[in-house]
Structure 1
Amino acid sequence: MSHKTLLRTGPLSRGGVSPYGPVREPGTDGLSLPEGFGGRVVARSGSKVAALTWHAAPDGGACFPDGDGWIYVSNSELPLLGGAAAIRFRPDGSVADAYRILSGTELNRAGGATPWHTWLSCELGHRGRVFECDPYGARAARPRLAMGRFKHEAAACDPDRQVVYLTEGERDGCFYRFRPYDWGDLTEGTLEVLCSSGRWEQVPWPAALLKGTRHQVREARRFDGGDACHYAGGVCYFTTRGDGALWAYDAQTSAVERICDGVRAVTAAPSGDLFVSMTTTRIDVITPDREIVPFLRLDGHPGAELTGPAFAPGGDRLYFSARRGAAEGHTFEVTGPFRR
């Protein structure tokens, strides 16, 4: 199924029948899931995962293949002590290892995975940076300063056009794309900003000290606090924290559509379904038929934000975190008959 179906067939409808069936009463760890699905907590802030103490304020995340197993990477949105960590899973789903992949950074809120299996961890602070990290823990993380110095939120790679889309966590923030000179090497390239006309214009000074990137191109289009983003099937989906909206940018036509409200984070399943973390403690599904239906509810975590949704490479496990404040955080795994 094509993800572009979501962009081109009219408004969303709510209240339809979920392809997974109704959400049941809460079970273990407060998870309410459809029949046939189960869940567990794989990490708690301040507790050990393997030999690693899991970080507070877990945020953006992604999964990577690792032989017959896989790895889940998670950012930490702590000031001064942010960074990112990884959990390595064996083929049977048991935890094999956990380790840091980025330290010495702060407010690492969201990010994004690359097609060459690295993790882009984004700093939300003033003049924040993008760090390219090795989820396998073999190589040191490196800043990619050509991608700009601003309040970075998330990154999403478009392998078809060989660009990386970037969101900005400002009330008058912009939507950017980075065009590396060599795809697969983010050391050098051109930073561009989306304008109200639908055109992309080059940002003259991506690392300027005095004039922010969002103020350098007069025609730049503004969004209310850019947040998470995910690319799939020719469309970059991104959210805006200020108004809680989910947007879709069609990379072929440069059209931007506001899909729905009340969304914090987004990821895609192999089926073409979008899984969206809502501003309440639940995850909904947006089907390729443009129906939005409930999938998961988390009880017992009042006021928590559900962050970092990501599917394991096999498409049969969904990971996300529930964070509340700067200390409490739980990272969950959901298994079951996800559509393919």
Structure 2
Amino acid sequence: MERRTVLRAAVVGAGTAAFSGALWQQAFGAVAQPGPSPYGELLAADGNGIQLPARFSSRVIARSGSRVTGTSYTWHFAPDGGACFAAGSGWIYVSNSEIPLVGGASAVRFNADGSIASAYRILSGTNVNCAGGATPWGTWLSCEEVPLGRVFETWPDGSRSGEERTRMGRFTHEAAACDPDRRVVYLTEDEEDGCFYRFVPDTWGDLRTGKVQVLCAPADQTSGPVTWRDIPDRDGFPIFTRWQVGAAKHFDGGEGCWYDDGTCYFTTKGDNRVWAYDAVNQRIDLAYDDSLVPAGTATLTGVDNITGASSGDLFVAEDGGNMEINIITPQGVVAPFLRINGQSSSEITGPAFSPDGSRLYFSSQRGTSGNSIGSGGITYEVTGPFRR
């Protein structure tokens, strides 16, 4: 019997346990399983083609190639990774542009009542800006998803031009997540044999200098202790960073990354997994694996971007699948939270909550057009009684 089939049989019917950083030692019992959503069933699609639970509503914030409502700013193509930042009495949502050569990132600023105050560019002239991550000091790390890609630190309010942070390593960057407790930044790599890295700055809050390390563990390990080793040449030339340390563990297509309370969650699209790195005990485990649920019941496929709510719920967006954002609860239940209809050739990107947790932002990168350059991209907001 194939190993993944054996693992599936081992967890089916085992039930689920609440999982947090302290409980990841119970790896297989904690792998999320399909179940009823705490928000209830999805209702019929609304006027924007989005299926939501009762008491939730959606609105379109921006469309690629069109002016953002109430502003003179034209929204970028192929909206991808995003995050929200407090700004005075309102907030800002930033979004990357996954376009070659001109990429960059844009921002929409909201007033306290949710109305749009302005929209503008915060990064220009970069290459295939896919995901990234917010820092505790209020900047956005925008990552290039190309070989020898770079990380750029940007200022959501547009007060400063984006600055290159090449000391964070040159590789096919995807997402970033800051760990203020250990004062490191975790980084994913979107390659079939990609690695999971962390950047250890010399001074926390200053990403200009520091060292890059790679997670090391046996190739087939899905649960157990790990170590970190320094990358000899962070510039990745002539040898890519993922090939420089023989003990490095390789992951099949690193995507989203989110840190919360001692655990860094990251996704791998090649095997539809959500991983959990327990930073306190330095071990990895699986939070979700679509091969470890009863056959034909997986609601979450094409795992991609990930974010978290103050309730401890994870929200995982799909690249393909059936265009859903799924919730994974602290009790280990996975269920659809929303579904976009009529956009099967797109992917959901950039999920992020407003600072007060009452609004969820995300994009459909190619929208109804399915255009490969993302000219049909749509950025949405969902409002409702999110769990706190």
The answer to whether the aligner puts 1:311 opposite 2:345 as a matched pair is no
In 1, distance between residues paired with 2:91 and 2:34? 35
Counting only pairs closer than 5 Å after superposition, residues 257-276 of structure 1 correspond to structure 2 as: 257-260=285-288, 261=290, 262=301, 263-276=303-316
In 1, distance between residues paired with 2:247 and 2:31? 30
Encode CA deviations 1:109-167: one digit per residue, 9 max, x unaligned. 00000000000000011210000000010011100111011111111000000000001
- The residue identity in structure 1 corresponding to 2:262 is G
Structure 1 match to 2:9: none
In 2 relative to 1, CA 8–39 (structure 1 residues): closer, same or farther, beyond 3 Å? farther
Q: Tell whether the 8 Å contact from 1:281 to 1:303 is kept in structure 2 after alignment.
A: no
Structure number with larger C-alpha Rg: 2
Structure 2 match to 1:249: 277
The answer to whether the aligner puts 1:76 opposite 2:93 as a matched pair is no
Structure 2 match to 1:334: 382
Structure 2 match to 1:205: 233
Which of 43, 52, 67 aligns to 2:88? It is: 67
In 2, distance between residues paired with 1:300 and 1:267? 24
SS in 2 for 1:29: coil
Structure 2 match to 1:236: 264
Structure 2 match to 1:42: 61
Structure 1 match to 2:41: 22
SS in 2 for 1:246: strand
Structure 1 match to 2:293: none
Greater strand fraction, Structure 1 or Structure 2: 1
In 2, distance between residues paired with 1:141 and 1:304? 28
Which of 325, 329, 339 aligns to 1:283? It is: 325
Q: Structure 2 regions of 5+ residues with no counterpart?
A: 1-17, 219-225, 291-300, 367-371
SS in 2 for 1:217: coil
Q: Structure 1 regions of 5+ residues with no counterpart?
A: none
Q: Tell whether the 8 Å contact from 2:147 to 2:171 is kept in structure 1 after alignment.
A: yes
Deviation at 1:316, TM superposition (A): 0.4
In 1, distance between residues paired with 2:236 and 2:114? 46
The answer to whether the aligner puts 1:300 opposite 2:342 as a matched pair is yes
Structure 1 match to 2:7: none
Q: Tell whether the 8 Å contact from 2:21 to 2:280 is kept in structure 1 after alignment.
A: no
Deviation at 1:333, TM superposition (A): 0.2
Q: Tell whether the 8 Å contact from 1:43 to 1:332 is kept in structure 2 after alignment.
A: yes
- The residue identity in structure 1 corresponding to 2:313 is D
Q: Tell whether the 8 Å contact from 2:129 to 2:142 is kept in structure 1 after alignment.
A: yes
Percent of residue pairs bearing the same amino acid type:
56
SS in 1 for 2:365: strand
Aligned pairs, how many?
A: 340
- The residue identity in structure 2 corresponding to 1:201 is R
Q: Tell whether the 8 Å contact from 2:32 to 2:287 is kept in structure 1 after alignment.
A: no
Deviation at 1:6, TM superposition (A): 7.0
Encode CA deviations 1:268-293: one digit per residue, 9 max, x unaligned. 00111111113330111111100112
Which of 117, 127, 132 aligns to 2:153? It is: 132
Stretch deviating more after TM superposition (69-78 or 188-197): 188-197
In 2 relative to 1, CA 30–6 (structure 1 residues): closer, same or farther, beyond 3 Å? farther
SS in 2 for 1:328: coil
TM-score by length of 2: 0.85
TM-score by length of 1: 0.97
SS in 1 for 2:167: helix
Q: Over aligned residues, Cα RMSD in angstroms?
A: 1.5
SS in 1 for 2:84: strand
In 1, distance between residues paired with 2:314 and 2:256? 13
